[in-house]
Homo-oligomer: A and B are copies of this chain.
Amino acid sequence: MNQLLDLVGIFVFALSGALVGVRRRLDVVGMAVLAEMTALGGGILRDLILNVRPAAFTSTGYVLAPVIATGIVFFWHPHVQRVMPAVNVFDAAGLGLFSVVGTEKALSYGLSPLHATLLGVTTGVGGGVLRDVLSGQIPILLYDRQLYAVPALFCSAVMAVLYSMDLHGWPATLAAAVLGFGLRIAAMRLRWRAPLARGVASE
C-alpha cells in the first residue's frame, strides 16, 4: 500500500516537472527528463542516505510513471500560460505524500523520530528543489513566501508521532499526507507568511 502511495507521489511530482518543462519551453525529451528527475530525486536521495539501493532502480512502475505523466501533459495541455497553479497543486500533493512515506521508511530503518522527520522533509522537498535548480529558478522551497517547508515538516512530525504510537498502517500514512497537502494549499490560498529578518524590507 505504501508503495502505491509512493507511486502516486511519483506521478504527481512528474506532472509538476513536465508542466514546468512546458513553461520553460522544453521539448518533449526535456519534459520527460525533468519529470523523471522531479519524481525520483527525493526518493533516491532518501535511499542513498538510508544506504539502500534506490527504489527507483528496482521498480519498473517508478520509471514508467513519469513517462506517462509526460505524455499526458504533452498532449493535453492547451493553455500554456496558465501552468503555474497546476504545478503548485501537484507539487503540494507530492510534497505531502513523499514527506510522510519518507518519514515512515526512515523510522522503519531505525532512525530516531527527529532524524526520520528531517529525512521525510528531505524526501518531500528533494525532487522539487532538483526541478527548480535544473530549470534555472531559485527553489520554491527557499523563495516561496507562502510556507513550503513548514507543511512538510509538520506532516512528517505527525507521521513520526503516529508511528511511535504504533499507528502505521496506510490509513495513518494517507491521513498525514492529506494533512501536509491541505496545509500547503491553505498556506498558498490564505497567503500565510513567515517573518523576514529585522531590517529586511518586504517587497
Give the interface of A toward B (CB within 8 A).
Answer: 21-22, 24-34, 44, 48-54, 56-58, 60, 63, 73-75, 77-80, 111-112, 114-115, 118-119, 129, 133-139, 141-143, 145, 147-150, 193-200, 203
Known: A44-B49, A135-B142. Is A114-B60 also a contact (CB below 8 A)? yes
A33 CB contacts on chain B under 8 angstroms: 141-142, 149
CB-defined contacts of A30 to chain B, threshold 8 Å: 141-143, 149, 194
**Closest 6 A-B residue pairs measured CB to CB?**
A27-B194, A30-B142, A136-B138, A29-B194, A57-B115, A80-B199
| A92 CB to nearest chain B CB (Å) | 16
Say yes or no: A111 contacts B34, CB within 8 Å: no
A75-B198 contact in complex given A53-B49, A57-B118, A129-B134, C-beta closer than 8 Å: yes
Which chain B residues border A195 with CB–CB below 8 Å?
27-28
A145 → B minimal CB distance (Å): 6
Q: Which has the most chain B C-beta neighbours within 10 Å: A44, A142, A197?
A: A197
- Across-interface contacts of A25 in B (CB, < 8 A): 196, 200, 203
Q: Which of B34, B51, B60, B139 contacts A53 (CB 8 A)?
A: B51
The answer for the CA separation of A142 and B51 in the assembled complex, in Å, is 29
Residue on B nearest A26 in the bound complex, by CB: B142
8 further interface pairs, Cβ-Cβ under 8 Å (given A33-B142, A49-B57, A136-B138): A25-B203, A26-B142, A28-B197, A57-B118, A63-B114, A63-B118, A134-B139, A135-B142
